[in-house]
Amino acid sequence: MDKYEQTVKLWKEWNVRTVADLDLRLDSFRILFAFNSGKIENPEITYHDTREIFENGKIAGYTGNPRTLFEQQNQKTCYAFLCEKIVGREKLSIQLIKEVKRVLAEGTYDEKQYIVNGERPGEFKKHDYVTGVNEVGSYPDEVEHDLSELIDEVNAIGAKKPLKAGAYFHARFENIHPFADGNGRVGRTLLNYWLMINDYPPMIIYDEDKGVYYLALQQFDETEDLDMFADFIREQTVKTWTRGMRL
């Protein structure tokens, strides 16, 4: 049994079935996840500020961009929003994805996005946006159809191959690029959601490893080869639970 399989085994032994169980096991994880997921795309985010938001609900003497605080507060709110759904094993759906986006994006859209482009948190994009290497993802009028197909695919796989299905979901989600902004944060949150509703441990994609993360996603975009990204998720899971959480 390799280290990843050991991690999965221990997570299953914890038998997480209630929100209290989830809070116990993810007390430190949720802060580290929010910090790293946010910092991948926003270098102003700090661990100290993230921890203050999660533990105290406020930050004293902050002078940076207010969007940074909104993003991290939204991660905290999103965790609370998803807890009951995780323990209830609610399947992925279009509505769930839009709700996660709405929670994570509240108060973060700038004037150009909101007024000029008419974009709204929780709604699919209305325009084309570059993603990956000069790609625009699905066209706006194709987003819901493409996402519905993706959801059907991964829900059909279910508990048979949760890791592979989760890797495919995240890679394809980023390829579709359904929202005007924040697709990475939404995708990473939904990846962990998928893993947990299938009784697999969530993981942190560390900011320091984002180069490999982007390379693995790019490989999928160019070749539809998922092996590199699935291996990356395995490695990040082991790193998460041996480095920061201590199983």
Residue 52 CB neighbour total at 10 angstroms? 18
As given in the structure block, the two tokens for residue 189 are 């949150």
Q: What single letter denotes the amino acid at residue 41?
A: E
Reply yes or no on whether 145 is catalytic: no
CA gap 9, 13 in Å, rounded:
6
| Cα dihedral 86→226→128→180 (10° resolution) | 30
Answer yes or no: are the C-beta atoms of 71 and 185 closer than 8 Å: yes
Residue tagged active-site, from 48, 127, 170, 177: 177
Instruction: Tell me the sheet residues that pair with 131.
Output: 135
Spatial distance between the Cα atoms of 40 and 205, rounded to a whole number of angstroms: 9
Residue 134 to residue 115: CA distance in whole angstroms:
25
- How far is the CA of 63 from the CAs of 42, 46, 67, 69, 124, in angstroms? 15, 13, 11, 10, 32
d(CA 33, CA 9): 21
Taking the C-alpha atoms of residue 244 and residue 36, their distance in angstroms, rounded to an integer, is 12
Give the residue numbers marked as catalytic. 177
